[in-house]
Structure 1
Amino acid sequence: MSHQSGIQPSEELLTTFNNALQTTDQRAIKVVISEEVMTVSDTLPVKGSWEEDFPLLSAWFGPTEPCFVLCRMDSTLPSGDFEWILLQYVPDYAKVRDKMLYASTKATLTKELGDSKFVDTLYGTTPAEMSLDGYRKHIIHKEADVPLTEREIEAQAVRLAESSADIGMSSRRSHAQGVTFPFSDTAKGALRQLKDGKANVVVLSVDLSQECMELDTAGDTTLSELPSVIEPSVPRFVFFTFQNTEYNGAPSSLIFIYVCPPESKVKERMLYSSSRASVVAYVEGELQLNVVKKFEVDSVDEVDEATLTEELYPKQQGTPGMTKRAFARPTRPGRGPARVSRAGTPSSTGSADTS
């Protein structure tokens, strides 16, 4: 299943960007999604160095409207072409649908314009994060993320296995191991909406700058559309209320999905792995929500309706009042089973817990 939205760059955007590649007078291009197309909203000519021009972009970052900004640097690639960076601005107060669209369209944008031309991506939810100071902090953080040696990775993996081995256990236990982050007010609010039935999905991320668990996305979506809500290359925690469609009358079930893409940074994977137990503990303990099933997957599209139906309702065929639908979605070829555990039972790597 594709993570992309199907939204393509307009001819105007392609022409504007190609022209910018051929000249030296274009500093930045603001891109917005309008009428299901990525189009040019504004441009900024070169006035000084990139550091002098960068603060001029602040006028493009409002309180509710997301956008992409293609910003040309003064440094060049080995080919002699200028380097570009992509700024992805998605404010907290943007509409949920807009958040989903921009998250699922970024890959298409850079692919259509040329991935090799973009040397960095800055993601932010506030104008401050999109400022020159915000970009400098991003660079410092990026350069500090030095790859670990193989020996360090092995040592860290052992410690993480010890600290997070209880992800398959009932996380109401007060001694949940690993790293614990406080939840931001927006994250708490979204989880309360989930509890009240006003949303069926909440996606959380670790905000290292604020040292907290932050809301990434919340709202209503279908299981098949869930991949479009989530960045494909970074870890995320997902709470999703699954409404079974295989059996009429089956109750809804809250599931937890720990998404850990193989291409994500080693330190990110370690951080999320060691904090996942405390996230489930908060939701089950503080909010009194029952997480029926926990999954650990490389990509969220590994969790499909057939998988959930099999794991959550394995014996419903004989349950009074529940009628099985005529057709079930077959398991996709080429994928191994998601790593999954029921609440109260240990997780089983590479297979479903059937006890």
Structure 2
Amino acid sequence: MSSQSGISAEQGLVDFLHAPSQGSQGLRIVTAGVSNDFTSVQLKGAYDSLSQLQSGLTNEPLYIFIKDLQKNPNQYVFVSYVPDSSPVKLKMLYASTKNTLVRQIGGNSIGKQTLLTDSEDFQDVLESKDVDPQQGAAVLTESERADIEISQQQQRMKLGNRKLVSQSDGTPTSLVFDIESGDSTINELLQRFNVVYCKIDLGTEQIQVVDKSNINDPNQLKILPEHPSYTLYRNGSLNYFIYSCPSGSKVKERMVYASNRLGFINHLKGQDKLEFARIIEIGDPDDLELSLISNSSQEEQKQEEAEEASARFASSRKFNKPKGPGRRR
């Protein structure tokens, strides 16, 4: 999974955090969260005490900035608050947005950084020994820290007995969504149908089989046009995996489908014992080249590969340079 989501902070949030504290001599607490359309990080609220903050917390993740105006009036403690009960998609989104937010606020304005999953732990954060904000920055890159945080969140889900379809190691080969294919496995479905359409339901956090059909020719294959999708097509004895991300797809959809593509493929190979003649990525459905899915047997595929290799060899052959006219005497 990419360690950056492309979501950035609204300027109003940045300005509010940098504005001088008015009147308060204790704590300054500011909360921020990803907007409903997943395009920015917005200011959510401001508090003067931990009790006020804790009373307003839900299972939604938040970025929380806490400044002790007596001990360290120049820097915030930055908390990524991600409750264990938060939806999976939000956990991943907040982890992949954090580094961009910290850069925008500025390293000089942020001291200690930590991840909390329980609202009762905020007091411990304030009482713990301060750490040099630069310490560790030279050891791990921002991308590595984000990947570690994503991995930790996935591991918590695994330890919480949430069934995942693949190991939770935070790598691009991991799948963080369950698969819902009814009473049959996807392999069994492909024995009865030669086209299986799958989509990710962000509400239920599942990869769902949404349609099945039988077609007689690759020309009859219809890719879902309204949102990204995974399409499995069996032509004869060969299977094809098609990942489509139409133009106009939402940023959140693009990120979720792209980050789960390899995990889904590996699950199909490992759990369903499926082999794919080709794995194809396209934008709009019209971008699909039918020649890529036209082979129906290993023999046809080998013949095509041999013809392509022969064509490449022919185009790469060097011709002897014609000799110029002889030198006059």
Normalised TM-score (structure 2) = 0.43
Normalised TM-score (structure 1) = 0.40
Which has the larger Rg?
Answer: 2
